[in-house]
Structure 1
Amino acid sequence: MTETTSGWASARHRRSITWIVALATLAMAFDGYDLVVYGTILPILMADPSQIGAISAQQGGALGSYALVGVMVGALFTGAVGDRLGRRKMMLVNIVWFSVGMGAAALSTSLTMFGLLRFFTGIGIGGLVATVGALVAEFAPQGKRNLYNAIVYSGVPAGGVLASLLAIGLRDAIGWRGLFWVGALPLVILLPLALVKLPESPQWLLVRGRTDEALAVSEKFGVPLPTSAPAPVEKVGFAALATRRYALGTALLGLMSFAGLLLTYGLNTWLPKIMADAGYDAKGSLAFLLVLNGGAIVGGLLASRIADRAGGPQRVIVTTFFLAAVALTLLTFGFPLPVLLAAVAVAGVGTIGTQVLIYGFVSNYYETSARAAGVAWCAGFGRLGGIFGPIIGGFLIGAGLSNNINFYIFAGIAVAGALVTLLVPAVRASRAAAPTPTTAAPAQA
């Protein structure tokens, strides 16, 4: 079974990939929901100590970071074991883990309990983020990888849009606990579908020497196998990242992700509070969050199409980082509301949308034996940036400094991210083994 010029080996191949991309996108949507829902409820928790206790601005930033510490732990753990246990198993485990964490957080009665459960939930999110990048890279047809990766990771801002809309429309009716219960829905919506429709990656099976299972997956789901045997590998997972081939690129990709996620989490956590302090009412301040994530979805998809046509996302990422710096600077000038909303939309493209492109860059930078580890490294190390984003905002707001200082700092980080991206070296191609007839399944219509 071979791919045609359109990228599809058969109609069944196309249906299978559509299901895989849809499931991965839905998983990422709940990641984005978790990211943004905290920002939507933070003003309530800070204003009403009877919920889980009194929360200062600094404590609010710290609570926002606990989940990100969990994401870092989950991503790094998945990187350590994901290239050995497989993509499907890691997806299923982390869907359950994340859902249970969100539901349990809705029952929190104290700051300590809430913080611990945010950390617990983050572990599952980190596992999902690290796994879906490898999954898409190994299933998406050539020429569509950046687009499909963007579709999947655009689930993050899509989930942010969902959280913003639900907060605007239902927060007063169902409260912050109800919004967290919505985050537990993957257990009853996503998990049953994934059990039936999500196959293991044939590329991963071949690398692990499980040729018969790879052939069975290919036949059942119509997914073509490589026309040549996988190149022999001496090191798998994190060990491969430290090799001469990947070491410098891995360090720079980690710094890119650090910058992208610092901007993403910093803005999503504090933008409603900053705009509320600027005089906008509750729904008006949440509208800025909606525009930020909506801009990221549209801009990220357009940028990914450009990346596919340009032969890669590196130059596109440089451009979007610089766009973020410009947009964030414009937010300090007190322009009329329509101009501010446009600037926030562009900032969404340059921050959240840029992180979508970074995951695509990372997923295709590594070969199968190191792919999950590479994505996990960037997701895990990048989450350090995500941890610092809410903390920086909380510190500056708590210190009584101008909100513009936040925007200037975020703009400077975007410029630094662009410069780092320019330095990422091209990876040397490995030598593939000679073609072998055992890696191709019989053609199926």
Structure 2
Amino acid sequence: MHNDSIDVNAELADAPVGGMHIKLGILLALMTLFDGYDTFNPAYVIHYVRGPWQLSLQQAGLLVSSGLVGFLFGAAIHGAIADRFGRRITLIGGLWITTIFSLLTALAADSFASFCALRVLTGLGLGVLLPLSTTYINELAPRRIENTFALWGVALGWAAGGAAAGLVGVFVTPHTGWQGLYWIGSLSVLLIPFVHLYLPESPKFALLRGRETEVRDILARLRPQRAHLYRTLSIGKPTTSEKAPVLALLAAPYRRLSIAIWLTSFLSLFCIFGLSGWIPTLMQARGESFGASFAFGALMQVMSFVGGLVCGRLVDRTDRPRFWLCAWWATGAVAVLTLMFFQSHWVNVACSAMAGFCIIGGQFVLNNFTATSYETRMRATAVGMELAVGRLGAILGPFIGGALQQIFGSSQATLLAIVIAAAGAAVTVRFATRSADCGCDSRSEAVEATTAMTSASKLKQELG
């Protein structure tokens, strides 16, 4: 607070984690669980349809990539929609789109063309859920644990969804066919009423729109012990301008930061989807059984959450995100390189686990790093563009992986491409800084919040 007004950024940054934080974290985790599940489940369709649909390896790769084409457009446009109309309504719309087209995939996809078309439409919803959930939770997270809190609230759900896709692939599809993956995915319809009822608008967005009554209500739910202050004191006005178009991300203060983040996301997601999309097929070629080869996808997703949590904790404690992200992707490159030279069951297990821990885990922290590097007025747009550009890499990963296998007759070239991309991500993230002439801190709102704490404490004492 400043004098007798409420500083919303300060209140959010200094808040203890309470019941409302936990409820919203669970709700976002459930939304991103369905996002992660639906994003990765095409990898488990390939086994069932490649023969009946007479697919080449490149076409098999497109089964995975098609949904990512929709994701690219969803991620690119949702930021502008969310920054204009609000986080809440955009998230709800994304969940509806994902649910409807998952159900239609189970009912109507009976050929390569129809499957890919429905996956593109599903991807429009998927392109909203993960990036906007990341934006939303970073606008609520207490400053001192923002990475850890965001990882528990978003990355846990996404990784659990990816792992669930592998488990459904192993245990359900032998009885239901590949359609069982999408029948289960459409269960997200059960989540929609709870999101409508319990998901509030982001308080920072509501503040930018001048909706003071709504801001007071949200703050009182997040920090009920201070509700009496929120009822009586005025709300401090936001210090940022209202609109930030996509081109603002390339303005002088942000140009280097944005380009470095986009390139890093492109390379990282090339690795993630190139490896995840082909991991069942690659492992079967390396001598693993059907069940074990599908389980490797689940293993990578479980380890990705652990890796993201460890990396996020290190970032929170040291405030050196670029250093730790570089270390994570470099280690992931070494893990995949090891797969090229050694072949045994335990090498497969250890290297797949380490690839998930480092490469996918690093992407979770990159999403949070992006969200905290921009102000509220442009945050959803920034995260959306990061993941939209990154999805170009995600689209190319499975497709190029299939093409390289067909050209060279083995998985070695695919693994080498992933090694090069992971090493490239380790290098490019080091350049993700604002221009030297920028007069503002990349976490300016958090810094502003911290400087407000002293006056807030004094005012609280005066008011009793």
The two structures have a TM-score, normalised by structure 1, of 0.91
Q: Does 1:286 align with 2:294?
A: yes
Correspondences of 1:41-440 after superposition (within 5 Å): 41-47=45-51, 49=52, 53-107=53-107, 108-151=109-152, 152-188=154-190, 190-222=191-223, 228-233=236-241, 235-426=243-434, 428-429=440-441
Could you list the per-position Cα deviations for residues 130-150 of structure 1 after superposition, in whole angstroms to 9, with x for gaps in the alignment? 211110111111111111222
SS in 2 for 1:54: coil
1:40 counterpart residue number: 44
Question: Given that residues 19 and 198 in structure 1 are in contact (C-alpha distance below 8 angstroms), is that contact kept between their aligned partners in structure 2?
Answer: no
2:19 counterpart residue number: 15
1:26 counterpart residue number: 30
Could you list the per-position Cα deviations for residues 150-184 of structure 1 after superposition, in whole angstroms to 9, with x for gaps in the alignment? 22123222111111112111111121111111111
CA distance in structure 2 between the aligned counterparts of 1:109 and 1:6, rounded to whole angstroms? 50
CA distance in structure 2 between the aligned counterparts of 1:414 and 1:186, rounded to whole angstroms? 33
Deviation of 1:120 after TM superposition, in Å, equals: 0.3
Deviation of 1:16 after TM superposition, in Å, equals: 1.1
CA distance in structure 1 between the aligned counterparts of 2:426 and 2:235, rounded to whole angstroms? 37
CA distance in structure 2 between the aligned counterparts of 1:251 and 1:154, rounded to whole angstroms? 28
> Which segment drifts farther, 392-401 or 267-276?
392-401
For 1:378, give the aligned amino acid: E
CA distance in structure 2 between the aligned counterparts of 1:128 and 1:157, rounded to whole angstroms? 14
CA distance in structure 2 between the aligned counterparts of 1:236 and 1:273, rounded to whole angstroms? 44
Question: Given that residues 405 and 413 in structure 2 are in contact (C-alpha distance below 8 angstroms), is that contact kept between their aligned partners in structure 1?
Answer: no
CA distance in structure 1 between the aligned counterparts of 2:307 and 2:269, rounded to whole angstroms? 17
For 1:206, give the aligned amino acid: L
CA distance in structure 2 between the aligned counterparts of 1:312 and 1:131, rounded to whole angstroms? 24
Deviation of 1:15 after TM superposition, in Å, equals: 1.1
> Which segment drifts farther, 221-230 or 282-291?
221-230
Deviation of 1:370 after TM superposition, in Å, equals: 0.2
CA distance in structure 2 between the aligned counterparts of 1:109 and 1:234, rounded to whole angstroms? 47
CA distance in structure 1 between the aligned counterparts of 2:403 and 2:347, rounded to whole angstroms? 28
Question: CA 1:112/1:125 → structure 2, altered by over 3 Å: closer, same or farther?
Answer: same
The two structures have a TM-score, normalised by structure 2, of 0.87
Unaligned runs of 5+ in 2: 1-5
Could you list the per-position Cα deviations for residues 268-315 of structure 1 after superposition, in whole angstroms to 9, with x for gaps in the alignment? 110111111222221121122222112112111111111110114221
CA distance in structure 2 between the aligned counterparts of 1:388 and 1:271, rounded to whole angstroms? 16
CA distance in structure 1 between the aligned counterparts of 2:238 and 2:11, rounded to whole angstroms? 21
For 1:175, give the aligned amino acid: G
SS in 2 for 1:144: helix
Question: CA 1:335/1:63 → structure 2, altered by over 3 Å: closer, same or farther?
Answer: closer
Aligned identity (percent) is 30
Greater fraction helix: 2
The count of corresponding residues between Structure 1 and Structure 2 is 433
CA distance in structure 1 between the aligned counterparts of 2:182 and 2:189, rounded to whole angstroms? 13
For 1:14, give the aligned amino acid: G
Question: Given that residues 256 and 420 in structure 1 are in contact (C-alpha distance below 8 angstroms), is that contact kept between their aligned partners in structure 2?
Answer: yes
For 2:219, give the aligned amino acid: S
Question: Given that residues 307 and 362 in structure 2 are in contact (C-alpha distance below 8 angstroms), is that contact kept between their aligned partners in structure 1?
Answer: no
Question: CA 1:239/1:8 → structure 2, altered by over 3 Å: closer, same or farther?
Answer: same
Deviation of 1:235 after TM superposition, in Å, equals: 4.0
CA distance in structure 1 between the aligned counterparts of 2:272 and 2:298, rounded to whole angstroms? 13
Give every structure 1 segment of 4 or more consecutive aligned residues whose post-TM-superposition deviation is greater than 4 Å: 1-7, 223-228, 430-435
Question: Given that residues 279 and 293 in structure 2 are in contact (C-alpha distance below 8 angstroms), is that contact kept between their aligned partners in structure 1?
Answer: yes
Calculate the aligned-residue CA RMSD, in Å: 2.7
SS in 1 for 2:50: helix
CA distance in structure 1 between the aligned counterparts of 2:244 and 2:12, rounded to whole angstroms? 32
CA distance in structure 1 between the aligned counterparts of 2:247 and 2:220, rounded to whole angstroms? 33
Unaligned runs of 5+ in 1: none
Could you list the per-position Cα deviations for residues 312-334 of structure 1 after superposition, in whole angstroms to 9, with x for gaps in the alignment? 42211101110111000001122
Question: Given that residues 35 and 268 in structure 1 are in contact (C-alpha distance below 8 angstroms), is that contact kept between their aligned partners in structure 2?
Answer: no
Question: Given that residues 60 and 402 in structure 2 are in contact (C-alpha distance below 8 angstroms), is that contact kept between their aligned partners in structure 1?
Answer: yes
CA distance in structure 2 between the aligned counterparts of 1:404 and 1:396, rounded to whole angstroms? 9
Could you list the per-position Cα deviations for residues 170-210 of structure 1 after superposition, in whole angstroms to 9, with x for gaps in the alignment? 1111211111111111111x212111221101111111222
For 1:197, give the aligned amino acid: Y
